[in-house]
Amino acid sequence: MNILLAAAEINPFAKGGGMADVTSYLCIEWGDMGHDVIGVLPGYKSIDKAAYGLRKTDISFEVPMGFGKETATVYSGSFPNSDARIFLIGHDEFFDEEYVYGDRNEDEDDDRRFLFFCKAVPELCKAINFSPDIVNCHDYHTSFIMPILKAQYKNEPLFANTGTVFTIHNLSYQGVYDKYRVMDFTGLKHKEFEVGSWFEHEGKVNFMKTGIMYADRILTVSPTYAEEIKEPYYSEGMQDAINSRLRDITGVLNGVNYRVWNPSIDTYLSKKYDSNSLEIKEELKLEYLRGAGIPEKMCTLPLISFVSRLTEQKGLDILENKLSKLLNTNKFILAVLGEGQEKYEDLVIEAKNLFPENVILQLNYSDREAHKLIAASDFLLMPSKYEPCGLTQMYALKYGTIPIVRATGGLADTISNYSAEKGTGNGISFPHYNRDELEASIRRAIDLYKSKDHIEKVRLNGMAENHSSRRCAKGYLEVFKEVLDDKG
Ligand code: ADP
Ligand code: GLC
């Protein structure tokens, strides 16, 4: 199959959140399975092209944007240790900044940047003579590729049999913009943007709705999220669009690239371990706590970590009122690695100031630290308000780190409550998004930690599971085949 995957984030070239991990392993897995795969990504200035062996090609083409034309330049190369190819679409101005997304408070130019990208993708296919069987678009930044293909390239032989699949990673980021600006950039007819059209939501152009409506098939990143988004609580206003496409939505659970997230080969760790050498995990914990300046007498306490973007999604609101009360018990160490909204950064800074010996705080983004902390931790906290899938809980399982989660989206699909009687389950999970259930779950974790046997059993249960990226990549291929069969 010829597969084109388009996204605003693809590892290792550009990463904002979990989407980058997923788009990357999909390309690599499909490539390993013998498919002809190209990943296409905006050529952000921040990408160190030389480090990844990406070369500037002599491909260059004009993309009509409104009244003018913009020139695209192209870099190409391969994914590390893979036959799958990667193409970067560059532009002197649009991607000539360090960021992936515009500053969230003044992102008025992201519509132009990503529409340029969407319009350049079919032109890239022409320039390299790539005829995709499937174009797989990820999240709203890429959704306009689909109507553009349908409206402007339908007579091109290269796209005669192309099917489109839209993956929703997170419904809460939708790409909402002024319709006059967008319609001028797209080159689609003005009348197509009327109220009630597939582009329009509450008087604005909505990129997410566009993707939902124009794709041949829609994927969500977990089966539970596919169910949840039919309801207003989770749908972020998209429930009508979602419910109009129910027959075409499938949840395929994300997976883990075990070549990257695996404690037995993890190059970030000073010592490797697996389920037969859990004593090394203990040593890594000690190394981490000592490195962070935690007093020796405190190092026997359980280490609970929070490795995440600090946003409303991740459950910080229900943690807020309970944090001081819980830390005051002096029964655990909390390590936070994350960055995000100011109010949540302030919350953890305050906790650090009040309980300097119980809190380790790293307000930044670091792959290395994420690996080291997940390996060192006893528990990983993810009390998410909603979680389309979540990857870190699956990374934690592989590292023998016990997830404490709110059962929503992919967290509900991957984490089951440990039963001391039966010895089953891989974590601690609570059903409702509220403070008391969160507090009870953290207390349960602290209690569980007192029993070495139980802790080891939960760890081993999780480590024995297989959430491989290959399984996820195969799930996508099944849907791709159905799309192609439908096309006849
Ligand atoms: P989301 O995509 O909603 O942020 P996921 O659990 O799917 O949530 O993926 C988060 C990804 O980002 C994981 O790879 C995780 O390790 C990484 N991550 C989150 N915060 C940080 C951080 N501060 N430093 C390094 N990696 C982080
Ligand atoms: C989004 C979601 C997260 C998911 C990730 C990768 O960022 O918030 O739950 O795991 O995408 O699909």
Partners of 340 in beta bridges: 310
Pinpoint the alpha helices (H) of 18-86. Answer: 18-32
The crossing angle, in degrees rounded to 10, of helices 18-32 and 469-487 is 70
Do 367 and 341 share a structural domain? yes
Do 232 and 327 share a structural domain? no
Do 56 and 155 share a structural domain? yes
Do 243 and 289 share a structural domain? no
Residue 323: what pLDDT? 95
Do 461 and 474 share a structural domain? no
Tell me how many helices (H) and strands (E) the chain has. Answer: 17, 18
Please report whether residue 260 resides in a domain: no
Contact 384, 314 (CB under 8 A): yes
Do 435 and 295 share a structural domain? yes
3-state secondary structure 271-287: CCCCCCCHHHHHHHHHH
Please report whether residue 268 resides in a domain: no
First to last CA, the chain: 15
The ranges of the chain with pLDDT < 70 are: 98, 103-107
Please report whether residue 350 resides in a domain: yes
Contact 8, 2 (CB under 8 A): no
Q: Give the count of domains, the chain.
A: 2
> Is there an atom of ligand 1 within 6 Å of 471 CB?
no
Do 290 and 251 share a structural domain? no
Q: Which ligand is nearest to the CA of 167?
A: 2
Q: How far is CA 230 from CA 163, 203, 249, 351, 385, in A?
A: 24, 22, 11, 37, 16
Please report whether residue 269 resides in a domain: no
Please report whether residue 262 resides in a domain: no
Give the pLDDT confidence of 213-256 residue by residue, as tens digits.
Answer: 999 999 999 999 999 999 999 999 999 999 999 999 999 999 99
Residue holding tokens 């897995």? 29
Q: Whose Cα sits closest to atom 10 in ligand 2?
A: 390
Do 246 and 316 share a structural domain? no
Pocket of ligand 2 (CB under 6 A): 17-19, 22, 169-170, 221, 254, 387-391
Do 286 and 408 share a structural domain? yes
Q: Which ligand is nearest to the CA of 11?
A: 1
Contact 414, 467 (CB under 8 A): yes
Do 299 and 239 share a structural domain? no
Give the pLDDT confidence of 118-162 residue by residue, as tens digits.
Answer: 999 999 999 999 999 999 999 999 999 999 999 999 999 999 999
Please report whether residue 265 resides in a domain: no
CATH number of the domain enclosing 105 = 3.40.50.2000
The string over 192-228, giving b where at least 16 C-beta atoms fall within 10 Å of a residue's C-beta and e elsewhere, is ebeeeebbbbeebbbbbbbbbbbbbbbbbbbbbbbeb
Do 478 and 433 share a structural domain? no
Give the pLDDT confidence of 356-368 residue by residue, as tens digits.
Answer: 999 999 999 999 9
- Domain enclosing residue 449, as ranges: 278-465
Backbone angles phi, psi at 137, to 5 degrees: -95, 140
Mutate-to-test residue for ligand 2 from 208, 254, 380, 385, highest number of ligand atoms within 8 A of CB: 254
Please report whether residue 409 resides in a domain: yes
Residue 104: what pLDDT? 47
Ligand 1 centroid – CA 380 distance (Å):
12
Which 8-state DSSP code applies to residue 256? B
Ligand 1 centroid – CA 384 distance (Å):
13
Please report whether residue 273 resides in a domain: no
